[in-house]
Structure 1
């Protein structure tokens, strides 16, 4: 990841807000990269992976709401005179998902019996009492926008975009070194395709990937149909997986 130093003065000059607007944050000062109408912006985030991690939920990229929260948390740390780099590693929110998204994730993970494999009552525990078992992140660690809107992985197509793949190759691949043997749950088809590609490159084990897991967004009206179609195979993947790392 890029160093914070070049962005710290810009973040300091931001107004103190609990929630920022796109006009506040999608500025040239926080811009990392641009490819036509696709833009990548900086957020101060560097979270260590716990040795207890057994499940890794991976999305495409943080959305604007997450970007706002990360920067708000980080700026609060600056106002309280915390060490800059300690604050950078602690600004990640406890759950990067909305309540509705988290609810859908929990329901589907329980349906494929991940809770039983982990010896917990429900996968709800992954988001509270057993959060040490869960790691969440994105293929691209920085927020990506197309025409100012959250990038969804399809336009442009993720694996055909050289700029986006550069971030995956330079950041995400290295992270997988600390996640050997962990069950990886892709948030959507675009993420799944990248993970399978990395498995073909021997960067990770294909058996680590929970192939067929539907994107839990409410916008995916077919997620329950997809869950029903892929449920048996996902249960087999989970049963086969060794969680005793």
Structure 2
């Protein structure tokens, strides 16, 4: 079983959580699940990013899990444990349910499908990329664990991620760890400009080649009202980059 080191710090608190149909913020945004805090920024543990797919061909990287993903991850994890599943399987169920959950996943898949990513990977359709038994995809976040700014979802802007030593340190350390666990030279897809800035710092440091990143992909959040324009502006170049990357691989 993988070493879920961060989980073991919070295991007793998670075990003590009651099983609920849905959790409130007061249930999960507690000192018992707090990982770190600086000023108005708070980082909490969530169980869905513990699983790494080391043989992925594509790694999609968001900013940080939001409240919706955090709540769904806990709910799914607790239900799986209640059903008698081992912790490793519970982590996988939580990740499968929570990663880019809701409208964000639909927006993401629509754009990836438009780029023809599934065809380059030999998949019948883009939805197959998120199938539970698909080992071609690894998903993570620049800030692996949920970060909240003044109690609201952190969106990468207040403060700017790379301008905050607190956030920058976590992002670079955890992403470098994720990158180091990949064995097949996957294509990294940073979602939005904030995550791109983190990846440009990683490329500049020599950890990753610029050609391993798909630049210009907009963040798929419904709150990003410019995503359609951004996608259309970069679509042709991104489509060419995807095709060339996997034909070289």
TM-score (norm 2): 0.87
1:76-134 CA-to-partner distances (Å, cap 9, x unmatched) read 34435555566446532345123422222222122222233223343222123873221
1:1-245 to structure 2, matched below 5 A, reads 2-45=5-48, 46-51=50-55, 53-80=56-83, 82-84=85-87, 87-88=90-91, 91-94=94-97, 96-128=99-131, 131-179=134-182, 181-242=185-246
SS in 2 for 1:155: coil
Which shows bigger deviation, 216-225 or 138-147?
216-225
SS of corresponding position for 1:241: helix
Query: Could you say what secondary structure the match of 2:36 adopts?
Result: strand
Deviates more, 1:112-121 or 1:230-239: 112-121
- In structure 1, the gaps of 5 or more residues are none
Moved more, 174-183 or 155-164: 174-183
- Equivalent pairs counted in the alignment come to 244
Change (3 A) 1:76 1:210: same
What are the Cα deviations for residues 127-179 of structure 1, in whole angstroms up to 9, with x where unaligned?
23873221111112111000111101111110111111222233220110133
Mapped to 1, the partners of 2:26 and 2:232 lie a distance apart of 42
DSSP 3-state at the match of 1:132: coil
Alpha-carbon distance in structure 1 between the residues aligned to 2:146 and 2:132: 28
- Where does structure 2 lack aligned partners over 5 or more consecutive residues? none
CA contact (8 A) 1:181 1:242 kept: no
Q: CA RMSD in A?
A: 2.3
Q: Is the 8 A contact 1:18 1:69 kept in 2?
A: no
Compared CA separation, residues 4 and 109, structure 1 to 2 (3 A): closer
Q: Residue 60 of structure 2: SS of its match in structure 1?
A: strand
Question: 1:86–1:102: structure 2 CA closer, same or farther, 3 Å change rule?
Answer: closer
**SS of the counterpart of 2:176?**
helix
1:230 deviates by 0.8
Deviations 1:7-47 (A, max 9, x none): 22222222211321111111111111111110001123420
1:59-85: CA deviations, max 9, x gaps? Answer: 011111211122223323443555556
